[in-house]
């Protein structure tokens, strides 16, 4: 078959932007491995923002857009191979109950502070989701469902990162001051610190100080269990967006299709988790697929950095950070209070 020039150009239009995103993502990935408390996703956004100030050719736009949307969705699917539903059951109903308390607290505070601070609605949702579930991965999964733009994602990931770093240094000292047990600190770190690498760093600091590794193992499992909350939260948000779209469509005399905003990639995430839990994926393959998913997250974040106007991002000021701080404090205190009520400290 002979292709016309226009068809050829259309098929390969994403290539320049994908190559540029990949070129930013590779050094960000290695920087994240060297400094896990910051993580590759944050480095990718920072590098992308910096490069975008000076170099962002128009022909790269289709590929950057593809990376920030489609590559991001494939990354979320691959992260499902890190999940093991058996571990969720092993965590126990008490820890799951603590997660539900922190989830409620984060969204309640985000809803209140959204109005008080006049933060854009999508940013408030993303910061709330990122705080109560799993940082950048939850933000990445939620953004396409609610129609958030790249600026919203970049602002939210940057805000979550700030409190990840603070938690690594603050939580172990606070835990010792409060006299927490290994179990209590493990659940606290697992439910109140956002990104997986930051949870591991926080719990590792505690374990090194106490000479015991129980908190590290528990915090990691609790954190991975939190990640599974991506599924119900994205479906609930999709339902809400669908209901709002139907109402607006009815007022405007148009139609709204739920299938257009349904997060189909979350079904892929769930399928990957089920396959891994059933033992149908060899451990080495599951590890490699998960690692690939995490790298693709970095590629997508690089694209988001490249497509975001850094000047507009800075102009957002202190309000998103204040909202993130309020959510973070609410989650940390709620986790401790819930554990206290359940006798887990």
* For residues 127-140, average pLDDT: 83
Nearest to 134 by CA among 112, 116, 115, 160: 160
Reply yes or no on whether the pLDDT at 181 is more than 60: yes
Helix 93-117 to helix 214-227 angle (10° resolution) is 60
In a domain, 7, yes or no: no
* For residues 135-152, average pLDDT: 83
User: What is the C-alpha to C-alpha distance for residues 343 and 34, in angstroms, rounded to an integer?
Assistant: 38
Rg of the Cα trace of the chain? 20
User: What is the C-alpha to C-alpha distance for residues 341 and 263, in angstroms, rounded to an integer?
Assistant: 36
* For residues 55-77, average pLDDT: 85
In the numeric block, which tokens belong to residue 181? 């047990």
Confidence of residue 4 (pLDDT cuts 50, 70, 90): very low
**Both ends of the chain: CA-CA distance in Å?**
69
Reply yes or no on whether the pLDDT at 155 is more than 90: no
Mean pLDDT (the chain, rounded): 81
In a domain, 2, yes or no: no
Confidence of residue 2 (pLDDT cuts 50, 70, 90): very low
- The reported pLDDT for the residue numbered 252 is 45
- The reported pLDDT for the residue numbered 24 is 94
| Structural domain containing residue 199 | 13-342
Nearest to 128 by CA among 87, 159, 91, 151: 159
* For residues 194-214, average pLDDT: 75
In the numeric block, which tokens belong to residue 112? 């209140």
Reply yes or no on whether the pLDDT at 258 is more than 60: no
* For residues 22-50, average pLDDT: 86
- The reported pLDDT for the residue numbered 1 is 44
- The reported pLDDT for the residue numbered 225 is 80
- The reported pLDDT for the residue numbered 47 is 92
In the numeric block, which tokens belong to residue 303? 């694209």
In a domain, 8, yes or no: no
* For residues 254-268, average pLDDT: 62
Reply yes or no on whether the pLDDT at 220 is more than 80: no
pLDDT per residue over 284-310, tens digit each? 999 999 899 889 988 988 888 887 766
Alpha helices in 211-318 (DSSP H): 214-227, 230-252, 258-261, 264-277, 283-307, 310-315
- The reported pLDDT for the residue numbered 228 is 79
* For residues 13-34, average pLDDT: 90
* Contact by Cβ (8 Å): 44, 302: yes
* Contact by Cβ (8 Å): 218, 189: no
Q: Which residue has the tokens 């109402």?
A: 247
User: What is the C-alpha to C-alpha distance for residues 324 and 283, in angstroms, rounded to an integer?
Assistant: 36
Q: Total domain count for the chain?
A: 1
DSSP 156-189: HHHHHHHHHHHHHHHHHHHHHHHT--HHHHHHHH
DSSP 27-76: HHHHHHHHSTTT-HHHHHHHHHHHHHHH---GGGHHHHHHIIIIIHHHHH
Which helix or strand (DSSP H or E) is residue 107 part of? helix 93-117
* Contact by Cβ (8 Å): 17, 61: yes
- The reported pLDDT for the residue numbered 57 is 82
Contacts of 89 (CB under 8 A, 6+ apart): none
The backbone torsions φ and ψ at residue 120, rounded to the nearest 5 degrees and listed phi first, read: -50, 140
- The reported pLDDT for the residue numbered 249 is 52
Whole-number percent of the chain with pLDDT over 90: 17
Angle at 29 between CA 24 and CA 32, to 5 degrees: 125
In a domain, 49, yes or no: yes
């Amino acid at each position: 078959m002979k292709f016309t020039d226009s068809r050829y150009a259309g098929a390969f239009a994403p290539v320049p932007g994908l190559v540029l995103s990949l070129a930013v993502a590779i050094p960000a990935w290695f920087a994240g491995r060297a400094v896990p408390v910051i993580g590759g996703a944050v480095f990718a956004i920072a590098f992308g923002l910096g490069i975008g100030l000076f170099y962002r050719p128009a022909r790269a736009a289709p590929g950057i857009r593809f990376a920030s949307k489609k590559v991001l969705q494939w990354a979320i699917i691959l992260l499902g191979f890190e999940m093991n539903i058996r571990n969720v059951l092993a965590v126990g109903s008490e820890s799951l109950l603590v997660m539900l308390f922190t989830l409620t607290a984060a969204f309640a505070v985000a809803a209140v502070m959204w109005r008080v601070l006049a933060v854009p609605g999508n940013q408030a949702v993303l910061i709330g989701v990122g705080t109560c579930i799993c940082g950048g991965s939850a933000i990445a999964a939620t953004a396409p469902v609610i129609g958030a733009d790249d600026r919203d994602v970049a602002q939210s990931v940057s805000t979550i990162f700030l409190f990840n770093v603070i938690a690594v240094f603050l939580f172990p000292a606070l835990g010792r001051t409060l006299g927490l047990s290994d179990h209590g600190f493990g659940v606290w770190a697992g439910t109140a610190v956002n990104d997986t690498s930051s949870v591991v760093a926080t719990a590792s600091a505690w374990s090194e100080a106490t000479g015991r590794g129980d908190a590290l193992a528990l915090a990691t499992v609790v954190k991975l269990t939190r990640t599974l909350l991506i599924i119900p939260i994205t479906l609930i948000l999709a339902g809400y967006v669908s209901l709002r779209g139907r109402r607006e469509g009815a007022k405007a005399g148009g139609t709204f299709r739920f299938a257009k905003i349904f997060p189909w990639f979350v079904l892929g995430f769930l399928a990957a988790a089920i396959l891994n839990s059933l033992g149908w994926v060899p451990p080495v393959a599951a590890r490699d697929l998960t690692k690939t998913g995490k790298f693709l997250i970095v590629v997508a974040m690089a694209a988001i950095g490249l497509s975001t106007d850094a000047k507009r991002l800075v102009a957002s000021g202190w309000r998103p950070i204040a909202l993130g701080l309020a959510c973070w404090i609410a989650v940390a205190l709620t986790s401790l209070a819930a554990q206290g009520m359940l006798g887990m400290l």
